[in-house]
Structure 1
Amino acid sequence: MKTLKYLFLCISITLFTNCSDDDASEQITSIASEIFNIEAFGDSNIIGTIEYFKNSNSTITIEVNLVGTETNQFYPAKIAFDTAADYDGANSQVAINLVPIDGNSGKSRTTFSTLEDGTTISYEALLDFDGNIVINQSETSNVIVTQSDIGQNILTTNTFSYPLSEVDVSDISGTITFTERVNGEALAEISLIGSPEGGVHPAHIHSGSVATAPGAIAFTFNPVVSRISKTNVAQLDNGTPFGFDDVFTVNGYVNVHLSATNLGVILAQGNIGAN
């Protein structure tokens, strides 16, 4: 009888010990975190934050919290490669598909350790990732409600602007603004006033100054569409490195043209850099 009691006691202790070990091995804790803002896209009025958690088991958890979402709606979310200015919808490569945001709570949590292509990624690598987060209106809509640069593409507070004056068409003018990224590159934003809604206008940095125009094209911006253009600035068209600091010293000027087939008509123009 004592043998049976002793055997039962040993089994009980073993089971208890095994359960405790399993519980301990399954316990995952966050050992570091960083949080960043997510900006509204267009007139969506949906904003929020994205927070990264470094987990004790070498995984990463991304938590998205949005304000302004609609109830009973799910918002697909993903991290794409390159900057938000380079994003081209379905033509852009997806790095990580996130769990859709629940419109009732505005939240989603995704835990992972690899990218969509199977490449392992660490918490530290994600903090320096060359990408942007994109959140769409629904599973069946490509309309973007929020989009922000992440990692090395995050914008700093270093920014400056140049005026663009009217040239061949009256009452069209604007500005070009350069904002430094964490990695030393820049976001160039052209904003026009008075141009037709829906117009598509090529824009470039030309060598030389307005006084010595015309000059050769040194850098090509994304076209101005409906009065706005956003372009990542990292190198000139010939491949020469060209970042935020280089804009201060470039011998150049900006032209915004009427159309790709009518480059001779200049809507707005202005000196930049050394000029």
Structure 2
Amino acid sequence: MSNPDLSGTVTFLEKKDNITSVRIKLTAGPVGVPHPAHIHLNTAAEGGAIVISLNDVDGESGYSETDVTKRDDGTPVSYAQLIDFNGYVNVHASQDNLGELIAQGDIGINELSTTSKTYSLDTLGAKGLKGTATFTKRVNGTTLLAIALDKATAGNQYPAQLHLRSAAEGEGIAKSLTSVNGTTGKGATNIKKLDDGTDITYDQLMDFDGHLRVYEGTADLANAVSQGDIGGNELTTTTKTYQLFTKQVARVNGTARFDKRKNGNTLVTLNLNETTAGNQHPAHVHLNTAVEGGAIVISLADVNGTTGRSRTTVRKMDGASGMAISYDSLVTFNGYINVHQSMTDLGTLLAQGDIGKNELTGKKEEYRLDQLTTTGFGGTARFEERASGNTLVTLTLVATPAAGSYPARILTNSAVEGGRVVISLNNVDGRTGISQTNVKKLDAAAGDTTLQYARLLEYNGHLNVYAEADLNTAVAQGDVGINKLTGASRTYPLLQKDVTGISGDAKFEERKNGSTLVTLTLSGTTAGVVYPAHLFKNVAGASGEAVVDLRNVDGQTGVSKTNVKALKDGKAITYSGWLTYNGYLNVYLGQTGPGTIVAQGNVGSTAF
């Protein structure tokens, strides 16, 4: 319309003698100039011939009233027929300027209802334009589709089409639309049928498997400037984003975003940083976790190296008879995503990340791994919870020889007690110092019992990393689960007693389960000699009964470690109990019998 601020109404009033009063009232118009008005056939978007000429709209009052009994061709027309008529009203600027419309509106069965749906149109290409596509339901069930583009170029025509499938898939034309006028940025199409003649209603369009595309110049994909999904392909607000981590090419990482469509399918959008312009990077969804590896189950669109982006509509798994998979199933799927360097170099991974039930929840527990031998390695063991409840166990060791491969196991009991293997972990790779294992259950030999993250944190166990090809020599070790040290500790001095030069301390450390790791560290001990140690009731120098037998101090290292849960009589005692206990500790010289005390100190309430 030439004046966007002008609006008005057309009222149909039934009178006697089969007369219908058609009354037009405009809010404004060129003063003093009558405005010709007509009822036309079809919708305003389609256009059509004049069927009923109306009295001119007065230029001063903006009002026109016409008594209608018949069409211009003489065919009688009733009120009932007019309000169910396939038509529209045009009001022109003047008799001398019929080409300029100042007001227009659909009537009868073409009247627009209050039911409408607006979809966003996103930019495409260097000349991309944003916009909207509004579908409005007519009272007859057909649809007015109005496209509005921002910053269209005056004088240009922008062809528009409704295509099958989603924009990410981009299939054939379902409906050719009226071109968008570059001067106004608008284009309107009345939709009753698809191009193949199939009837389609507004309600059907709301579930249609399609997308809309607008072009500059010819309707060639290279000239596309705007597009958007519609109907069943509309994106809901339900979305899930997964991290894609750097693998073999530095700095390449990003995200995989899963958006749920109205029809339950999924738009998978990969966004990677630091990709190379001009390259194409194949991407797939695989079965299992990334650390386990598995077959390709869903092929994704290649990541464009120039944009770092890939968009895929996922409806089913690969294969001619691939099983359908919905968004809800995909976000609980047992899988991971790989992005590769190229089709000719699939062995080089750019980025990788677990998805679905393998996603990490953010809950994690880290344990210290201590170096055990002079050629051993220290590091950490990190346990991370997956959405499935399973656990990603990551071992990170420092300064491992590149050529080495080091077996790792989780065993029962604390490290100082020792135990049997219950979970076999993947070997630590000497080149990276890293091992990653997806833990779901105990080993078959240990009962094959499911063991999820929550239970693993409460497990009575420890972790060993062994020398290469030697499961008898642990090079790194740490307590896990309930045996983890809380950080609370108390250290007591052990003073020289009957043998000159031997002294040290006794460190009591609290475990998560409340028990105590007692570590004796003496200086001046002799290699090859063992030194028995005991905890007694009472204070040093007074007679008392032995309540706990500790492990012998190794003369080579001067160290003894004992996990203490209870006294000799079976009565449980916690770390907190030791802090208030009335006791002392003796270390003896093994060869001369228990009579020779090499070091002694009070513990608990009598210590200070």
**TM-score normalised by structure 2 residue count:** 0.41
Contact 1:45–1:68 (Cα < 8 Å) also in 2: no
Per the TM alignment, residue 247 of structure 1 is displaced from its structure 2 partner at its CA by: 2.2
Per the TM alignment, residue 67 of structure 1 is displaced from its structure 2 partner at its CA by: 0.9
Partner of 1:124: 203
Change (3 A) 1:203 1:75: same
Partner of 1:196: 276
- Classify the secondary structure of the residue corresponding to 1:118: coil
**Alignment of 1:18 onto 2:70:** yes
Per the TM alignment, residue 49 of structure 1 is displaced from its structure 2 partner at its CA by: 1.5
Q: 1:29 aligns with which of 101, 104, 111?
A: 111
Per the TM alignment, residue 69 of structure 1 is displaced from its structure 2 partner at its CA by: 0.7
Q: 2:169 aligns with which of 78, 86, 106?
A: 86
| Worse-matched range after superposition: 138-147 or 250-259 | 138-147
Per the TM alignment, residue 45 of structure 1 is displaced from its structure 2 partner at its CA by: 5.1
- Classify the secondary structure of the residue corresponding to 2:196: coil
**Alignment of 1:98 onto 2:177:** yes
Contact 1:203–1:223 (Cα < 8 Å) also in 2: yes
Contact 1:44–1:146 (Cα < 8 Å) also in 2: no
Encode CA deviations 1:152-191: one digit per residue, 9 max, x unaligned. Answer: 1000111121111111211211111101111111100011
Contact 2:240–2:331 (Cα < 8 Å) also in 1: no
**Alignment of 1:136 onto 2:192:** no
Partner of 1:8: none
Change (3 A) 1:180 1:140: closer
Per the TM alignment, residue 44 of structure 1 is displaced from its structure 2 partner at its CA by: 3.9
The unaligned stretches of length 5 or more in structure 2 are 1-66, 88-106, 359-608
**Alignment of 1:185 onto 2:265:** yes
Encode CA deviations 1:6-45: one digit per residue, 9 max, x unaligned. Answer: xxxxxxxxx9622361882334311233222222224545
RMSD: 2.1
Q: 2:189 aligns with which of 87, 110, 122?
A: 110
User: C-alpha distance in 1, partners of 2:331/2:212?
Assistant: 30
| Worse-matched range after superposition: 146-155 or 219-228 | 219-228
Q: 2:121 aligns with which of 18, 38, 44?
A: 38
- Classify the secondary structure of the residue corresponding to 2:223: strand
**Alignment of 1:231 onto 2:283:** no
Q: Which amino acid counterpart does residue 236 of structure 2 have in structure 1?
A: T
Partner of 1:11: none
Q: 2:292 aligns with which of 207, 212, 219?
A: 212
Change (3 A) 1:63 1:185: same
Contact 1:47–1:146 (Cα < 8 Å) also in 2: yes
Question: Which of structure 1's runs of 4+ aligned residues deviate more than 3 A?
Answer: 42-45, 56-59
Encode CA deviations 1:31-85: one digit per residue, 9 max, x unaligned. Answer: 2332222222245452222112222444322111111111111111101000011
Q: 1:271 aligns with which of 334, 343, 354?
A: 354
Q: Which amino acid counterpart does residue 255 of structure 2 have in structure 1?
A: T
Per the TM alignment, residue 146 of structure 1 is displaced from its structure 2 partner at its CA by: 0.9
- Classify the secondary structure of the residue corresponding to 2:328: helix
Encode CA deviations 1:96-117: one digit per residue, 9 max, x unaligned. Answer: 1111101100001111311011
Partner of 1:51: 134
**Alignment of 1:69 onto 2:152:** yes
- How many residues are matched? 258
User: C-alpha distance in 2, partners of 1:189/1:42?
Assistant: 18
Change (3 A) 1:16 1:146: closer
| Worse-matched range after superposition: 70-79 or 136-145 | 136-145
**Alignment of 1:255 onto 2:338:** yes
Q: Which protein has the larger Cα radius of gyration, Structure 1 or Structure 2? A: 2
Contact 2:285–2:296 (Cα < 8 Å) also in 1: yes
Contact 2:160–2:219 (Cα < 8 Å) also in 1: no
| Worse-matched range after superposition: 20-29 or 198-207 | 20-29
Calculate percent identity across the aligned residue pairs.
34
User: C-alpha distance in 2, partners of 1:59/1:154?
Assistant: 20
User: C-alpha distance in 1, partners of 2:218/2:163?
Assistant: 17
Per the TM alignment, residue 148 of structure 1 is displaced from its structure 2 partner at its CA by: 0.6
User: C-alpha distance in 1, partners of 2:354/2:214?
Assistant: 37
Per the TM alignment, residue 222 of structure 1 is displaced from its structure 2 partner at its CA by: 0.8
- Classify the secondary structure of the residue corresponding to 1:39: strand
**Alignment of 1:169 onto 2:221:** no
Partner of 2:230: 150
User: C-alpha distance in 2, partners of 1:157/1:262?
Assistant: 37
User: C-alpha distance in 2, partners of 1:263/1:58?
Assistant: 52
Q: Which amino acid counterpart does residue 21 of structure 1 have in structure 2?
A: V
The unaligned stretches of length 5 or more in structure 1 are 1-14
Change (3 A) 1:235 1:16: closer
Which structure shows the bigger proportion of residues in helix conformation?
A: 1
Contact 2:119–2:228 (Cα < 8 Å) also in 1: no
Change (3 A) 1:21 1:248: same
Encode CA deviations 1:126-152: one digit per residue, 9 max, x unaligned. Answer: 111100000112226532211110001
User: C-alpha distance in 2, partners of 1:144/1:185?
Assistant: 25
User: C-alpha distance in 2, partners of 1:190/1:198?
Assistant: 17
